[in-house]
Each structure stands twice: as structure tokens, then as C-alpha cells.
Amino acid sequence: MFRQVRRFSLVAGVALAAMLTVQVAQATPPAHAPAHGWRAKHDPNYHGYKGYTGREWERDYGISGGRCNRDEVGTVVGAVIGGAIGSTVAKGDSRIIAILAGATIGAIVGREIGRDMNDSDRACMGHALEIGTSGQRIAWNGANPGLEYSMTLGDGFERDGQSCRRFTIERELDGRNARERAAACRTGEGQWRLVSS
């Protein structure tokens, strides 16, 4: 009997030692629940979205496909304004979305176009300026039913050492169209300001 207990103890000890030396396997997150930053660290083919000035962006919010996802943009902008990710944005190099700065958009692109724009619309414009390509058209729905904006990116230029871009912005509501040409310059990390062209 004593021999059986000793043999059992020996087997149990060896099994326990083997379990303690086994390395924990790192699991890849499933596609439906990706880990934040996992793709950039582990996918050799992932390079983010290269911006107009060379900066890489983690998300494009639909800009590459020609349609800004205003709902996603609104969630991010709301979190920034609400302070949920303000500390990340304050660092500058970690900005997660580009935005067209300033509330005076109507003064430059025309009152008809700018009067119904809010922070989400300015973020769609800013991110389009940041990662869209020349000649590309980006569209999105405005806050009001039937309101649609579209922006066609033009050529780039420099002004006072800042990278700038020309663009055409259109607004359609209830069959009425308004169209303006404008320009914006990149004033900071992910911030664009309208300028007279």
C-alpha cells in the first residue's frame, strides 16, 4: 500500500512539474472581436492609411471607399469632445481622426453649404483632406433627413510652410444643390483650417 501511495505521489509530482513548464499559447483574436492594435503589431501586410502629409492613420472611416461613415466619425468626435479620449488627442501624435477646425466654415465655403454642418461633418471633411486622393469624391449624409454632402479633392499646394489642398464641396437638400470651391491647410496633427484660395 505504501508503495502505491509513493508511486502515485511520484506520478502526480511529475505531472504537476510538466504542467508548470508548459508555455501559455498566445491566441489570435477572432475576426469579430479584434484586439486594439493587434493587427498593426502582427499583420505584416498592414500599413494603416497613409495621409496626405505622410502620417499613417489607423482608421479611414470609409474615406478610401468614397463614403465617410458619419456615425462612426460622430462617435469618435463625441468621445473627444466629451473627454473620453481627450488625453490621447492632447498628445498630438496619437490623434485618431483628422478634423476641419473652426466653427466659421460658412464664412469660407458659403452660408448655404456651411449652415447645417456640425462636428461630424467637419470631421468627415478633415479626414477626407487627410487621407483622400486627388480627384477622389467622398460623400456622406448630413444630420437632417435628405441632406447629403460630397467633397471632391483637388490639387495640393504649400502656403507659409503648410501643406494645403483645394477641394469642391457640394450640399444637396430637397433637390436644391449648392456648390463651392475652397481650400484648407494642415495646421497641426490632424487639424485642417479653411483658407481663402
Domain boundaries, the chain: 49-195
Give start and end residues of each alpha helix (H) in the chain: 2-21, 38-42, 70-82, 86-90, 105-109, 111-114, 119-131
Give the pLDDT confidence score for residue 192 in this predicted structure: 87
Give the pLDDT confidence score for residue 100 in this predicted structure: 67
Give the pLDDT confidence score for residue 101 in this predicted structure: 64
Say how many C-beta atoms besides its own lie within 10 A of residue 18's C-beta.
9
Give the pLDDT confidence score for residue 88 in this predicted structure: 44
Give the pLDDT confidence score for residue 85 in this predicted structure: 43
Helix (H, G, I), strand (E, B) or coil at 72: helix
Rounded CA separation 49/131 (Å): 7
70-82 and 119-131 helices cross at what angle (nearest 10)? Answer: 110
Q: Over its length of 197 residues, how does the chain's per-residue pLDDT go in tens digits?
A: 556 656 656 655 555 555 555 454 455 655 555 555 555 555 555 556 777 767 777 788 899 899 999 888 878 776 655 554 444 444 444 456 766 665 445 455 666 777 788 888 988 998 899 889 999 999 999 989 999 999 999 999 999 999 999 999 999 998 999 999 999 998 877 788 888 86
- Classify the phi-psi angles of 51: left when phi > 0, otherwise alpha if psi is within -120 to 50, otherwise beta: beta
Say how many C-beta atoms besides its own lie within 10 A of residue 23's C-beta.
5
Give the pLDDT confidence score for residue 59 in this predicted structure: 81
Instruction: Enter the pTM of the model.
Output: 0.66
Say how many C-beta atoms besides its own lie within 10 A of residue 71's C-beta.
12
